[in-house]
Amino acid sequence: FPIMEDKGHFTREEINSTVWEVPEKYTRLKQIGTGAYGVVCSAINEKTKEKVAIKKLHRPFQSEIFAKRAYRELRLLKHMKHENVRRWSQAQQAADVYLVMPYMYTDLSKVRGHLSEDKVQFLVYQMLCGLRYIHKAGIIHRVSNQFNVYCGILDFGLARSTDAEMTGYVVTRWYRAPEVILNWMHYTQTVDIWSVGCIMAEMINGKTLFKGKDYMDQLSQILKVCGVPGQEFIQKLESPEARSYIKNLPRHPRKDFSTLFPRASETGIDLLEKMLVLDGDERPTAELALEHPYFDGLREPEDFPEPTPYDDSHDNATLSLDEWKRLCYKEVKSFVPFPRRDSKRKNTLTMSP
């Protein structure tokens, strides 16, 4: 399989039992993250002296399914041209695929203490700007959580086009929308809005809002705050087991969000209440959420570029392993870097409370 940087030299080293083979210009590799579909290392680009993040996809060509997943991630990342969506800057391919991306010096999991409201406003605004762009391209992100969202939305390994069949296990449990837990299979882009609501709540109170110990405890935690839904919601559930379970729960009302979030402003509470609604059909889209008064004074026209629709023609394709490899190679070879907009306003934010 062709190596994209064929004029350079490569170094090979083992990091936490994983063999990495990258161009020699990338030095001081250090593992900073791992997941079901890849491992991420930080590194220094000795030519530019910039710190980067390199994601090694997990056995991308082990099978047709793995190769299809790798191709989908390449396509999605390449398609994104918004400053609040992190995309790959280059890639190397041999037996493995490595994605080289800008290094994120922090994420929300590293924030200590309470954030001031202006910082919460700013961060939620940035998340929604990124999601608006992703959603208007026809994509559901589904991995929004405090570890991969901080002004930039990261990791498209689990993203899908909006008309694909979906499963409920993929989102980090604490940020998982109730319709995903209840196997309401044909959910919409508002699953990501629920995740943003969970993150916003966590930034305001300094602790996770729905910290379920397991699948059912997660749902229980949500219903204690949001109340047990009525018949209209229950009828929308496709799973007979889910309908039966909800019907048999004791009735209790939705909690008062002004009591739950005493540090939040009236407009902040109103936005939270709209995002953390059990029925995904009743949540605002990212575009509508950005029109909320909570973000008055933050909006800039250049924050809302219009994406081209994502071409998902291969999402349901059944191809051979060699055909998926060729498609991956084509995506890497045709990559063109996206010039990022410099915004003085966005560079002044620090993560101290």
**Binding residue numbers for ATP:** 56
* Distance (Å, whole) CA 91 – CA 181: 35
Under 8 Å between Cβ of 175 and 201: no
* Distance (Å, whole) CA 154 – CA 325: 24
DSSP label of 331: H
Place of tokens 């695929």: 97
Under 8 Å between Cβ of 37 and 74: no
Structure tokens at 332: 């890497």
* Distance (Å, whole) CA 309 – CA 130: 15
Under 8 Å between Cβ of 143 and 172: yes
* Distance (Å, whole) CA 15 – CA 30: 8
For 345, residues 6+ apart whose C-beta sits below 8 A from its C-beta are 300
Helices 321-333 and 64-79 cross at an angle (nearest 10°) of 20
Under 8 Å between Cβ of 158 and 143: yes
Annotated binding site: 56
32: burial class by Cβ within 10 Å (0-12, 13-18, 19+)? middle
